[in-house]
Amino acid sequence: VMAQESGKRKKPNILVTGTPGTGKTTMSTALAEATQLNHINIGDLVKEKNLHDGWDDELDSYILNEDLVCDELEDAMEEGGNIVDYHGCDFFPERWFDCVVVLQTDSSVLYDRLSKRGYKDAKLSNNVECEIFQILLEEAKESYAEDKVVALKSNNIEDISRNVETLTDWIRNWSIPI
């Protein structure tokens, strides 16, 4: 049944997830350029199209409205060929994705990146803890079939190039009819 469902798409949909700062947007942008797939940054989309229920002062971010986001994406996801970039993965329909990539960064490296981004205090330590406890990898494993989930290191520039290459190959192979 799963093969039939994904068989309706001519191109795969890929979810790129991970703690903020692990390099989702950087990697997704490079992958979209290499493959001509469509990069969808959920954070930007939520802001642009007002797919939220206001601003959370404590979390210092928009309160994403999951139903609005899923309605907005349904047609594009059915069509296929999307790279979806978001620091969460448990509210998307499982059937949307052919591959779920979880980017991972060593905590000291992530700490520096998020400090540079201006994260402080609770926001900084919460995100570094999120990475240490592999929250996004757990969330991905709970939400998607095991064989769709892949964890990739994202500590340096070489990691980005290698990950883009690996995923570009995977996308090419997915698209070749058996």
Q: Is 159 in the site for ligand DAT (CB under 6 A)?
A: yes
Q: Is 61 in the site for ligand DAT (CB under 6 A)?
A: no
Please report the sign of the dihedral spanned by the C-alpha atoms of residue 112, residue 117, residue 118, residue 119.
negative
Site string for ligand DAT, 12-51 (x = CB under 6 A): ------x-xxxxxxx-------------------------
Q: Is 154 in the site for ligand DAT (CB under 6 A)?
A: yes
Nearest to 127 by CA among 100, 88, 89: 88
Distance CA 40, CA 152 (A): 20
Q: Which stretch binds ligand DAT (CB under 6 A): 65-73, 119-127, 157-165, 168-176?
A: 157-165
Residue type at position 82: N
Closer Cβ to ligand DAT, 50 or 156, answer by number: 156
Nearest to 124 by CA among 136, 113, 140: 113
What the block records as the tokens of 68 is: 């609005």
User: Shortest distance, CB of residue 113 to ligand DAT, whole angstroms?
Assistant: 4
Is 100:24 a contact under the CB 8 Å cutoff? Answer: no
User: Shortest distance, CB of residue 145 to ligand DAT, whole angstroms?
Assistant: 24
Q: Is 79 in the site for ligand DAT (CB under 6 A)?
A: no
Site string for ligand DAT, 98-137 (x = CB under 6 A): ---------------x------------------------
Provide CB contacts within 8 A for 143, sequence distance 6+. 89, 90, 92, 94, 100
Residues that bind ligand DAT (CB under 6 A): 18, 20-26, 113, 154-157, 159-160
